Amino acid sequence: MKYRFQYSLKEMTVRLFAMAKPIRKYLVISTLASIIGNLSHMGLMGFGVLWILRSAEAVGGSLSFYIFMTVLCAVLIPVCRYLEGVFSHIGAYGILAKMRVHLFEILERISPAFMIERNQGDILNIAVSDIETLEFFFAHTIGPMFTVIILPVTTLLIAAHYNPLFAWILLPVYIMISIVIPLAGLKLGRSIGMRCRKSLGTLKSKVLESVYGIRDIQIFGYGKRKAEEIRKQNDEVSQAAHGMTIHREVLNAAPNFFVYLARILIIAIAVKLKEQGIGDPAGTVVISFVAAASFSSTFSLTFVVSHLLEAYAAAERFFLIEDTVPAVQESSDPKELGEIEEISFDNVTFTYPSASSPVLKNASLKIGKNEKTGIYGESGIGKSTLLRLLMRFYDPEEGSIQINGTDIRDVSLHSLRLKTAMLEQETYLFDASVAENIAFGKPEASMDEIRTAAKRAGIADFIETLPDGYETQMGQMAARLSGGERQRIGIARVLLRNPDLIVMDEPTSALDAFHEKELLETIRNEYHDKTVIIISHRQSTLGDCDTILQVKDGQILNTNIA
């Protein structure tokens, strides 16, 4: 299926150049080095031939000058190559680092809604592999863009100096190998480049989910089927790569015809001019060598184009995320949220972007200060959606959600998130120490505050048994923690944050009856002065709630049946 591109090549090039502004001094140096280095390559060939011809007394001029210029060009070539490589990569890797930070800032701005709708493995591939692919544009493209103009112009001037006919022969060749073939290659190969990036992203996503789910794969004997899925996707990557290889080789071979045609034409014209008595054999030799040197440099543009296909595909995937409009927008005049006294849903209707029908229809409820509210219902009926709307992951299509009588769309997002905290089915532990994981919601917390929160959550004794106590790195230990231990670290994190409102989405789903009882006792003892909303399939989890509500057919029913 043909991919429909969202951006033109010109638009992406302009945006990539705009992103390169912070490193322009490095790119200017590398581009100048590229130009001087390529001109020196031509100079080495041209002055070298003149040195030989002058030694044979076939041309006039200063022999010392020809020798000096030949040696100077020979020295400049490696120096300029070194400077070009060093400064282009210093700049390129600097901008790639900024792009990764920028991508995280974008994801933070458009999430959580964006991440709910997207494959996380593909996002990881964009953050790592696609951005890395853009290194080719910043480090290996800008220089050739200038040399592909300067080298042909220089060669044409030299050719015209000896005989304008040589320049007229070379001009269409340069147009073909410098403009027509590269542009045609980019236009015709964009779909191939995008297919490569997308298929590779899918493969990495499948590998990533297989690594994350290796335990379940082994338990349920899914290994062969999963390996077959990866093999099929790998075949797709191989087919895409094969298409890219064919395109690259055609692109590399096409200019050869015109390059060798130009060489034949130079010889043919030289012979014709000689027959007319106006030929200059020495000039023909100089032109042949200079043109050969310029062709070798200009010819590299086709190599650049073949790699630019993937770079532009990677850029488009990055720009699509950068241009994503957040599901929620900050108010132009946001209000700060005071202590939460009352929460109300007033005839709320909501449909997910990927769904065809609303998950909530005219849903209404009221929750007072320090109330414990339980919500139950079948899977996919809209329970978690209530919490996502309350946390402003999304905004309702119709109706309103109010806190203390103020529509949350008018409340500062920072203020709303500061006053609320969410405990989901599984607490995510970062690759940091236990103490840092607990203090995630309050980085400035003291060690005494962290220990107090852990004690209140009933996890302090367990932490003391870890190899390094609170300094134990979770990257090494996280897989060994039980669901209950993870949840208690999550509770400690919430307690340290000390919000007014705590929402819990299936907090006991991964726990057995004993650990569920322990967790509920902690919630009862530690959250008695907080407003709490708990979603659960288990009636036992909701036993201590002041009010139990049921979500059914997109509506909230059975108020005050607890």
Taking only the tens place, the pLDDT of each residue in 202-226 is 887 788 778 777 777 777 778 888 8
Q: Report the pLDDT value the prediction gives residue 562, as an integer from 0 to 100.
A: 45
Q: Is residue 447 predicted with pLDDT exceeding 90? A: yes
Is pLDDT above 50 for 1? no
Triad 250, 254, 257: Cα angle to 5°: 145
pLDDT band with cut points at 50, 70 and 90 for residue 197: confident
**The pLDDT of residue 152 is above 50:** yes
- Residue 427 and residue 483: Cα distance in Å, rounded? 8
Give the mean pLDDT of 26-53.
90
pLDDT for 559 beyond 60: no
Q: State the Cα–Cα distance between residues 177 and 2, nearest whole angstrom.
A: 27
Render pLDDT for 220-242 as a digit per residue (tens, 0 to 9). 778 888 888 888 888 888 888 88
pLDDT above 60: residue 373: yes
- Phi then psi dihedrals of residue 376, to 5 deg: -135, 170
Residue-wise pLDDT for 46-57, tens only, equals: 899 899 988 888
Q: How confident is the model at residue 396 (pLDDT cuts 50, 70, 90)?
A: very high
Note the pTM of the prediction, 2 decimals: 0.77
Q: Which residues pair with 555 in a beta bridge?
A: 552
Q: What are the distances in angstroms from CA 139 to CA 65, 97, 460?
A: 35, 14, 52
pLDDT at residue 372 tops 80: yes
* Residue 443 confidence (pLDDT) above 80: yes
Q: Looking at 228-237, 288-297, 403-412, which range is the least confident one?
A: 288-297
Beta carbons within 10 angstroms of residue 428's beta carbon? 11
Per-residue confidence at 15, pLDDT binned at 50, 70, 90? very high
Query: In sequence order, what are the beta bridge partners of 343?
Result: 367, 403
Residue 211: φ, ψ to 5° = -65, -45
Distance (Å, rounded) from C-alpha 317 to C-alpha 6? 10
R_g of the chain, CA atoms, integer Å: 34
